[in-house]
Structures are given as C-alpha cells and as structure tokens.
Amino acid sequence: MSAKVPVGVVGVGALGRHHARHYAQNQGAELVGVYDRDQARAQQVADEVGTTAFTDLEALLAKVKGVSCAVITSAHHDVGLQILGRGVGILMEKPVAASAAEADALLAAAAKANVPLQVGQIERFNRALRAAKPFVEDPRFIECQRLAPFATRGSDVSVILDLMVHDIDLVLHLFGAAKASEIRAVGTKLLSAHIDLVNARLEFDRGQVASLTTSRLSPGRVRRARIFQRNGYLTLDLHTGTGEFVKMKGGWEPERPEGTSLEDVVERIPLEAPEADALGLETGAFVSALKGEVNAGVSGAEGRAALALSLAVAEAVEARPLLRTH
C-alpha cells in the first residue's frame, strides 16, 4: 500500500470545513492541518476533524504536498501563488481566480513547480452527470437552471462567478472543443453590489447552443440541466443526482412516423451511477493526482476556460442590463 499523502486546507469557512472533513476520511491522505486567518474558526474545525490548527501558513505548507484552497475569490491569486511558490499542489475552489490574467499566473506557477492545479468545479462529480456521460453523444443544445436563495457567502462576486460558472464548465465539458462565438445576456443587481440574476444564451462555433438561467434570489433551490442531441435528450436533476435519457427507438424516421404517442417512438432509460459524495470524489481525485496517479480532476486550464467565458457573460450583462438598481 502506498504511503498516505500529506494534505491541508487553507481557508476553513463554509466550504473549506467540508474539504477538511473529507481529507480526514480519505484512506490515502493524511490531514496534517488547517489554516485560516480566523484562528478561532481554524481551531474549531481542527477539533472537529482531529487535526492541527496552524497559526502560520508557511508552517503548514512546509509539511504538506497539497492543499485545498477555499479562501475568498479575490485572494485566490495571492494565496495561490504563495502555495505554488512552495512547491505545493492546489485544489482551488471555483472560480480559479478573479481574472483571466490572475488565472494565467497561477497556471504558470503550477507548471514551474510541476505540481497539480485543480479547480473545484464540483458538478463534474455529480451523480446525475456521471450517470449521463455514457449516453452523451454530440449534444446540440443544453439548457441549465440554477436557482438558490440569497446568502452572504459568495456575494463578494457576481452570481455568474458564484453559481453560473458551474453550468458554464459543464457546457464547455459536454460540448468538447467548441468555442463560444456569440454571447447574449441580461441580468440585474438587487440584493448585492454584484449581478444577482442572469439569463444567457451562448452560441458556439460548431453550431451548438446553451441557454443558462442563474439566480440567487429564489425562495428554493433548483439545479437542472437538459441535454438535447440527435438520438434523444437527457434530463438531469443535479440537486437530487437523478435523471432520465429519453432515447429515440431504433428505426424511427421523422419522415415516416409510426405510432400515436411518445411512448411508441422513445424508450426511457433511468440514469444511474454509484452513490458517492461529490466532494469526496473531487478531493479523492486531487489526492490521486498528488500521488502521480490518474488525474481525474478539473484541470487549471479547464477552470481558466470556464472563468474566461463567465467573465465574457458578465461583460455582456453590463452592456445590456435587465434593470439598473445601483
């Protein structure tokens, strides 16, 4: 059995606490400790998971091979460069940085240090998406809805960087090498100094289209995606991890339809994948990468692509706001 890889967590707020919990449970990792500028919070989380609360970031970095970095987005660049400069790999919470230039600096630092830089696009590990992937075949249209109640956590950035970036990453992942050729978006600011509600239509150079609606003004949570392709469509409930593939039956031709109902021409395939915690899979993929094994995480380059398109959507919203409130 290979030795456990020493890891830590930098920033143990709402998200970082869960990273620490999963590393503590990972059989291939040793959670050396956690660090947070709020020392009381660091000690609280350390006590919960049975590790050490470091009062100095450099001291933690000297003892680990990789860390999850879950500080606020505006600090990703500076803290990330400090970590990478010590030759320590990073699983950076999304978005990878606040700007494309900052993301490029992180990518360059990771390449120089020859260490993994992964990004916490956790929906890649969602049970519904894992179940859908074997059936996805050249999708032409993707529709996503991501609605959530307002929370102060994440409101330091727009809802595009806080929430929509997840769906943008999924669209880029499922569309493959396609590049956005046209962006139309409207949005508004209501409860924060940043955009809180967005609808975007993205057209790609291979003819694919994505329609994304994201809000942090909803009374409840909705995370849905529909993927349309030539042989049918997939409906995913990312909140529950369930879904269905409505597949056209073999031999059916639109020019010579047979049957009188939808059920005569389609088969419904439930989407099933092994039950697993998405963050557990994500942190596990990072641990594997630190060991030099197969890297199944979302790469820094992929995170940079999702960030760049997210920023382009934000620019489109600012050019054509739905409502000016500030």
CATH number at residue 90: 3.40.50.720
Residue 295 domain flag? no
Residue 286 domain flag? no
User: Within this chain, do residues 68 and 195 fall inside the same structural domain, yes or no?
Assistant: no
pLDDT of res. 323 = 57
User: Within this chain, do residues 137 and 98 fall inside the same structural domain, yes or no?
Assistant: no
How far is it, in rounded angstroms, from Cα 253 to Cα 50? Answer: 61
pLDDT at 127 over 60: yes
User: Within this chain, do residues 49 and 190 fall inside the same structural domain, yes or no?
Assistant: no
Task: Give the list of residues 6+ apart from residue 180 with CB closer than 8 angstroms, or none.
Answer: 202, 203, 204, 205, 309, 312
User: Within this chain, do residues 97 and 217 fall inside the same structural domain, yes or no?
Assistant: no
Answer for the pair 195, 159: CB distance below 8 angstroms, yes or no. yes
pLDDT at 297 over 80: yes
Task: Provide the whole-model pTM.
Answer: 0.92
Domain boundary, last residue among 95, 115, 135:
115
How far is it, in rounded angstroms, from Cα 17 to Cα 115? Answer: 23
pLDDT at 152 over 80: no
Residue 204 domain flag? yes
- Closest CA relative to residue 77, chosen from 106, 49, 100, 50: 106
pLDDT at 37 over 50: yes
CA 242 to centroid of chain Cα atoms: 18
Domain boundary, last residue among 97, 115, 133:
115
Q: Regarding predicted confidence, which is higher, 165 or 266?
A: 165
CA atoms lying within 13 Å on the CB side of residue 256:
2
- Closest CA relative to residue 162, chosen from 150, 171, 173: 150
How far is it, in rounded angstroms, from Cα 8 to Cα 32? Answer: 6
Domain count, the chain: 2
Q: Regarding predicted confidence, which is higher, 1 or 211?
A: 211
pLDDT at 147 over 80: yes
pLDDT at 260 over 70: no
How far is it, in rounded angstroms, from Cα 183 to Cα 200? Answer: 7
Residue 135 domain flag? yes
* Residue 295 pLDDT class (50, 70, 90 cuts): confident
pLDDT at 12 over 60: yes
pLDDT of res. 263 = 73
Q: 202-241 pLDDT, tens per residue? A: 999 999 999 999 999 899 999 999 999 999 999 999 999 9
| Residue 38 CB neighbour total at 10 angstroms | 12
* Residue 326 pLDDT class (50, 70, 90 cuts): very low
Residue 198 domain flag? yes
User: Within this chain, do residues 107 and 211 fall inside the same structural domain, yes or no?
Assistant: no
User: Within this chain, do residues 129 and 269 fall inside the same structural domain, yes or no?
Assistant: yes
H helix intervals, the chain: 16-25, 39-49, 57-61, 76-84, 100-113, 127-132, 159, 165-175, 262-265, 278-290, 300-319
* Residue 193 pLDDT class (50, 70, 90 cuts): confident
pLDDT of res. 325 = 47
- Closest CA relative to residue 84, chosen from 101, 103, 99, 56: 103
pLDDT of res. 49 = 97
Residue 315 domain flag? yes
Residue 225 domain flag? yes
Tokens of 185: 């978006």
User: Within this chain, do residues 173 and 313 fall inside the same structural domain, yes or no?
Assistant: yes
Write the CATH number for 164.
3.30.360.10
Answer for the pair 203, 182: CB distance below 8 angstroms, yes or no. yes
Domain boundary, last residue among 64, 95, 115:
115
User: Within this chain, do residues 13 and 158 fall inside the same structural domain, yes or no?
Assistant: no
User: Within this chain, do residues 95 and 174 fall inside the same structural domain, yes or no?
Assistant: no
Residue 175 domain flag? yes
User: Within this chain, do residues 164 and 312 fall inside the same structural domain, yes or no?
Assistant: yes
pLDDT at 72 over 70: yes
- Report angle CA 236, 247, 244 to the nearest 5 degrees: 25
pLDDT of res. 254 = 61
User: Within this chain, do residues 106 and 143 fall inside the same structural domain, yes or no?
Assistant: no
pLDDT at 136 over 50: yes
Terminal-residue alpha carbon distance, the chain: 58
Q: 261 burial class (0-12, 13-18, 19+ CB within 10 angstroms)?
A: exposed
User: Within this chain, do residues 148 and 194 fall inside the same structural domain, yes or no?
Assistant: yes
- Report angle CA 22, 169, 97 to the nearest 5 degrees: 75
Write the DSSP string, 265-300. HEEEEE-------HHHHHHHHHHHHHTTS---S-BH
Sign of CA dihedral 13, 16, 22, 26: negative
31-40, 91-100, 289-298: which range is least confident on average?
Answer: 289-298
Averaged pLDDT for residues 2-9: 92
Provide the residue range defining the domain that includes 150: 125-275+308-319
- Per DSSP, 163 falls in state I
How far is it, in rounded angstroms, from Cα 68 to Cα 62? Answer: 15
